[in-house]
Amino acid sequence: MTGNDSNLCIMGTEESHFQEDIDISNTVDGKPIYYLVNEHDKTIDSSSNAGYVAVVSSSKITVSGLTLGNNRQGILFAFTQDSTIEDVTIEGNSSGIFLFHSSGNTLNGNTVRDNSNGITLLYSDNNALINTTIQNNYLGMVFSFSSNNRVYHNNFINNYYLHIYDGIGNFFDDGYPSGGNYWSDYDTTGEGCLDENEDGFCDTPYYFDGGQDNYPFMEENKWEIKTLHEKAADLAKQLANHPEAYLWGGKGWDYNLAQFVSAENIISGYTYWNPDLVGSYVSRR
């Protein structure tokens, strides 16, 4: 198959519908099709020169370092668990990454752009999407009958219709101070994003179809910029400013300065009184 807008599509409703015998002698745009069925502990990386990847009824598969386009699905996981898609560029597909009845998988460090649907999860639970850019798709992510998926530390940029469709039952941040995602339509005061405490997050959640991000970032990739000490300092500031915090007059201990400092001056490690552990000081560095 060559020269088509959507070269290959595998669809079905039952596991057997996806269990096809397709070997790498079959190609799309001159690149081999990798169609794995009942495989385990394997890697498909850039050395494969793959043009289409499907993983069916498999586990512990890693797909990495590829650029995939012009298919109905850039990557298909069907009835697949505990596998990884990482450092992959997916562009120009009907559905960039498609998970069907697949759980416990990790999508990390990918670029998903210029697809109809960037990432689709159908009957797929307990997956993680992190450190990925979802950009210029018609729909950024589509959830259908899928829950308990964790989506954080991603850039959602200029997806034309919606960033998220039907996110009910899924999680879109990793709590504080780890944070949520960057949303291109929620990063200025005019769009409702204020950061009065200057911690890098909008002070109010970002709401979308079926869900919310409680700690939306104001800048792209901001989670990569903060050091461990900066994250500790953010938490110390939050604790010091909390009305019920048991701190020394609203101060925390700075290990670099070797003294108690006020919340706005905390720059690294901290020590604070933990009211949940009676008689206990808790330290972090």
Confidence of residue 8 (pLDDT cuts 50, 70, 90): low
Q: In the prediction, which pLDDT does 273 show?
A: 42
Q: What is the pTM of this model?
A: 0.78
Residue 106 within a domain? yes
Q: In the prediction, which pLDDT does 26 show?
A: 85
Q: In the prediction, which pLDDT does 29 show?
A: 79
Q: Residue 16, by phi and psi: left (phi above 0), alpha (psi -120 to 50) or beta?
A: alpha
- Do 44 and 154 share a structural domain? yes
Measured distance CA(131)–CA(209) in Å, rounded: 21
Half-sphere exposure of 57 (CA within 13 A, CB side): 10
Confidence of residue 69 (pLDDT cuts 50, 70, 90): confident
- Do 144 and 41 share a structural domain? yes
Confidence of residue 210 (pLDDT cuts 50, 70, 90): very high
Residues in the chain: 285
Asked whether residue 237 carries a pLDDT value surpassing 80, the answer given is no
Confidence of residue 28 (pLDDT cuts 50, 70, 90): confident
Residue 137 within a domain? yes
- Do 35 and 122 share a structural domain? yes
Q: In the prediction, which pLDDT does 282 show?
A: 42
Residue 184 within a domain? no
Confidence of residue 198 (pLDDT cuts 50, 70, 90): confident
Residue 50 within a domain? yes
Measured distance CA(82)–CA(104) in Å, rounded: 5
Q: In the prediction, which pLDDT does 153 show?
A: 97
Asked whether residue 1 carries a pLDDT value surpassing 50, the answer given is no
Residue 280 within a domain? yes
Structural domain count, the chain: 2
Give the mean pLDDT of the chain: 83
Confidence of residue 25 (pLDDT cuts 50, 70, 90): confident
Residue with tokens 């905390």: 266
3-state helix vs strand vs coil in the chain, percent to 5: 10, 40, 50
Q: Which residues contact 229 (CB under 8 A, 6 or more apart)?
A: 267, 268, 269, 285
- Do 166 and 235 share a structural domain? no
Range of the domain at 264: 228-284
- Do 36 and 149 share a structural domain? yes
Mean pLDDT across 180-191: 95
Asked whether residue 215 carries a pLDDT value surpassing 60, the answer given is yes
Q: What is the pLDDT of residues 239-258, one digit of tens each?
A: 555 554 444 445 555 555 66
- Do 257 and 120 share a structural domain? no
Residue with tokens 């519908």: 17
Asked whether residue 62 carries a pLDDT value surpassing 50, the answer given is yes
Measured distance CA(149)–CA(136) in Å, rounded: 22
Mean pLDDT across 54-59: 96
Confidence of residue 132 (pLDDT cuts 50, 70, 90): very high
Q: In the prediction, which pLDDT does 7 show?
A: 55
Q: Among residues of the chain, what percentage have pLDDT more than 70?
A: 73
- Do 19 and 157 share a structural domain? yes
Asked whether residue 260 carries a pLDDT value surpassing 60, the answer given is yes
Answer whether 121's CB lies under 8 Å from 149's CB: yes
Confidence of residue 71 (pLDDT cuts 50, 70, 90): confident
The CATH number for 123's domain is 2.160.20
